Amino acid sequence: MIYQQRGIMIRQTNYSETSRIITILNEDGMSVPLMARGFNKPKSPFIVLRQGFREVLFTYNRFKGIGTLNEVDVVQQFKHVNNDFEVYSCAVYMMEMITKAIEDAPEDVTAEYYRLAVKGLELFEAGNSKYGVLSLIAIKMLKYYGAELNVDECAVCGNRNYRQFSHYSFKYHGVLCNNCLTDETTARSNLISNRVLYLAAYMKHVKIDDIESVKMSDENGRMLLKFIELIYDEYTGVFFKARKMVHME
Ligand SMILES: [Zn+2]
């Protein structure tokens, strides 16, 4: 069967001197392995895939297992992402968050994986806060790892005035407000800036298609990312190799 689908290449491995097996995240949110014959030849039509992220229209044959790649047409280049090492590292991290969820549960395919990947790359490309964009996608991916971010009301008293939120409790599994801070309630809690909690709540609720920009200082972006990583560490147990790369700078 012949397919023509949008996708993003997420992996490549040498198969022989001239050929590679590539894996694409397709528009349905599935990961599809494809044999790309002649990939390593100097005049290969697949040369555009060699480095960096691109949104590509892939034409391939596939019945079961590994398909055969016939043609590639670039839909979107992500030049800024591919040329700025720090932004690229964040994009690698984002993609790992998405592909790991697919690996963990290959039968639970959702097109949202693809929408998140493309949206994330577009936001990175447009020069938005890289830590902000990464945090946004991390928050949207949390549910696929079975975790939840409870930042809408105080876990003790139900207070919804976010201006009074100051801690995240791993004992109560939610935010705490200033009225509820005692030795008992703050055990196993982290002091989180009010601004960060607000941003996290906003990102949790906003529809991904409604987001046009993600602006914040690098400092706030980093704090937000660290907070979301705490949530991942506590509730998912998933390990992302690219995390180190992003926190190196
Ligand atoms: Zn409270």
- Helix (H) or strand (E) holding 203, with range, is helix 194-205
For residue 174, report the distance from its CA to the centre of ligand 1, in Å.
Answer: 10
Q: What is the pLDDT of residues 23-39, one digit of tens each?
A: 999 999 999 999 999 99
The answer, yes or no, to whether residue 249 has pLDDT greater than 70, is: no
CA gap 22, 33 in Å, rounded? 6
User: Does residue 169 contact residue 155 with C-beta atoms inside 8 Å?
Assistant: yes
For residue 231, report the distance from its CA to the centre of ligand 1, in Å.
Answer: 20
Hey, what domains does the chain have and what are their CATH numbers?
2-77 (2.40.50.140), 80-148+194-247 (1.20.1440)
Q: What is the pLDDT of residues 132-173, one digit of tens each?
A: 999 999 999 999 999 999 999 999 999 999 999 999 999 999
Mean pLDDT to the nearest integer, 118-130: 98
How many percent of the chain have pLDDT more than 90?
94
State residue 106's pLDDT score.
84
User: Does residue 206 contact residue 213 with C-beta atoms inside 8 Å?
Assistant: no
Q: Is the pTM of this model over 0.85?
A: yes
CA gap 53, 122 in Å, rounded? 11
For residue 158, report the distance from its CA to the centre of ligand 1, in Å.
Answer: 6
For residue 166, report the distance from its CA to the centre of ligand 1, in Å.
Answer: 10
For residue 164, report the distance from its CA to the centre of ligand 1, in Å.
Answer: 8
